[in-house]
A and B are shown apart, each in its own frame.
Chain A
């Protein structure tokens, strides 16, 4: 029972190479149910035992606030998934299913949503989870003082809310939102105790109060967050591996930014789980079976290089096509990722059911690239062998954020740089700290850029490719980094976002993605890599939140 078809909230692909190979690019569903793949659980591990503290080593940046409402990034989601829960979540088939909520009724015009909550759920401070509490959370997200960016966007179409009774919340929307339940499944919109929020941001950031299987005990900055078991926890809905509180006494969540140190720590038994492992370590773990591996690609966008169409030379579609045709991504992905990352041909992650991939625009064809560039007027070569036009070198600025790009990816970019040079492009690769990287984007000082974006559901396309997203937010950030502004694409994305019928919605997103791929606005690379290596003494690893961050409720330590 435990290891055959254990239901899970959103089981990620427990990757073995074989399981991975079965999934076809661009059309994967949300993972396989309770797969027992690659070394997760030894079959004779016995019955689950309670006790022990799991030591988790995170390579992601240490959050500056543990409340994922504030700003809202992936490192926050990783942690918050242990102590906060969401109204909805994703099941093993990638379907959005109720979790803290019991259900949602959407009116025919799509402008009204009635949320019904489950009964008898309490936050760890004893506050009951009721409609007023949920509305307080939405209110918190919409409050500019909270400084939410991810959650704020997710609840953007909610105009007002009415508490009908303790279990019923009526939401009025400014426009139909087909992505609302997807949005509610994200940890950045997780529900916290209103009493906790009421303590003020400084206190709430240090220890948000939720309903999850664990709660925050302490946080030592630059070092660790200590989580302890929520003794009163029981999963609100079907789908968890077991009823009742977590097996673990607690989790010691350590921040170890150095990948090599993290790996050594796992191998030496100092820690049980690491995130962001090096690809070579994943491959070695797969081969030897000495470590368990959880492969949980993030939903939302794929990792891709965006081509800035707002200025020369990429305002010319022919030059974009020439660039895409001159660089060989596959060889680099193969050698640098050791077979742990599969090439993507879609703007969406392979876990998005509505993803659409097409390898055709991305075949390497250097002869064709040369033709295109000659025809576009870049037909001279300067002393260093780069193409030029009217004495202007064919030069591309490529700012890379070292905080957002793993070393293997940075090496891949170097390889693309070398390949582009053959074709006559000068790619100026600038490794920048996050602040300078944002600075380069704000100044429109880039031709190529790679920026991850995680969101549940295909609505991420609207955020990344709608012309509205070229307008900077008050923070200065804009998500449409290819700066495509096309009325037809805008229409497709807006309609898809408001379309209630799944089939019609999928068709609209199909068209939109085909448009994006054919226009060479992006060069898709692979899914947002989200791997976890763990000691084989850990059993029951696999359940994740809707954004593919692991939840350790079912996990236990076998000795």
Chain B
């Protein structure tokens, strides 16, 4: 029978002993561990996509044939051609170059948002996890943080992000924090569970018996072991953070033009949907490629972590 943990349970469930908060808890959505099945090919493809995207983000100038900001009104709205593989936009800018340069902004925003989410999650999850197996005060701490998370879960998806933007105003920095805030509760719950399980594991018990200082136990033993699955989750979550951040840009609440950020490119593309489909299709494919490959890679990593 499926014991706790083999069935990934959902994000918003109230914390409780019955609830397992394995991977599925994250805002990244349920990863669903495919046992064996798919083989290695998808992971290889995803790895290749990820390598290209990361290369584009690190050295866009090497890959891009043109300056992503170079304007040429006379070359506006050109369909894909040998000169411009992905066509040109309303100002005659080369779309391929913009998609390549866009990798940096989009990935940076996604990664920063994931980082913010993880940092917040550690802040909430570690004390809660330590408290869960501890004394009376610790259990109260766990209970308190659990309630805080519950409230954050009640503003799911983009909602918390949008509330935050309404208060703090739109912009790149805000959208990074906003997306981070939106993902933090999921990560936090996972970290809490990991820490709680580890805290009562024989390894930690042994360290305690051996009289190791508490700080050493925390930093040397607890965190590294708790973080491994979290990093898997971050890989899964990165793609979704990119999707969310691009959604905010699309709604005009994120990165402003003319920066070649995928979401704002898509927003511009939508304006010209009728005459320049390529302006919508290609930046969107880039977002989908990143999100899909991060899912596949994350799942491959988690399979490896689970020893499958």
Contact = CB atoms under 8 A, between A and B. Distances in A.
B270 interface: yes
B185 to A, nearest CB: 28
**Interface residues of chain B: helix, strand, loop or mixed (majority):** loop
A454 B290 CA distance: 46
B265 to A, nearest CB: 12
Interface residues of A, number: 28
A411 B74 contact: no
A367 interface: no
A281 B274 contact: yes
Contact of B76 (A260, A263, A335): A335
Contacts of A284: 274-275
A414 B258 CA distance: 7
Interface string A391-430: 0000000000010000110110011011100000000011
Contact of B71 (A259, A414, A431): A414
Nearest to A336: B90
Contact of B256 (A336, A411, A431): A431
A280 B274 contact: yes
Contacts of B252: 402, 431, 433
B256 A429 contact: yes
Given A335-B92, A407-B268, A418 B70 contact: yes
A284 B257 CA distance: 26
What does DSSP make chain A's interface, helix, strand, loop or mixed?
A: helix
B256 A332 contact: no
B271 A332 contact: no
B130 to A, nearest CB: 43
A399 B184 CA distance: 33
Most A CB atoms within 10 A — which of B74, B256, B271, B275? B271
Given A331-B73, A414-B91, A417-B258, A436 B169 contact: yes
Interface string A490-502: 0000000000000
A414 B257 contact: yes
A278 B92 CA distance: 18
A334 interface: yes
A395 to B, nearest CB: 16
B90 A331 contact: no
Contacts of B258: 414, 417, 429
A411 B92 CA distance: 11
A419 B92 CA distance: 14
Interface of B: 69-71, 73-74, 76-77, 90-92, 169-170, 252, 256-258, 268, 270-275
Interface of A: 258-260, 263, 278, 280-281, 284, 331-332, 334-336, 402, 407-408, 410-411, 414-415, 417-419, 429-431, 433, 436
Which 6 A-B residue pairings sit nearest by Cβ, starting from the closest? Answer: A335-B73, A418-B71, A407-B271, A331-B73, A335-B76, A431-B256
8 contacts: A258-B270, A260-B274, A263-B274, A336-B73, A336-B91, A411-B268, A431-B256, A433-B252
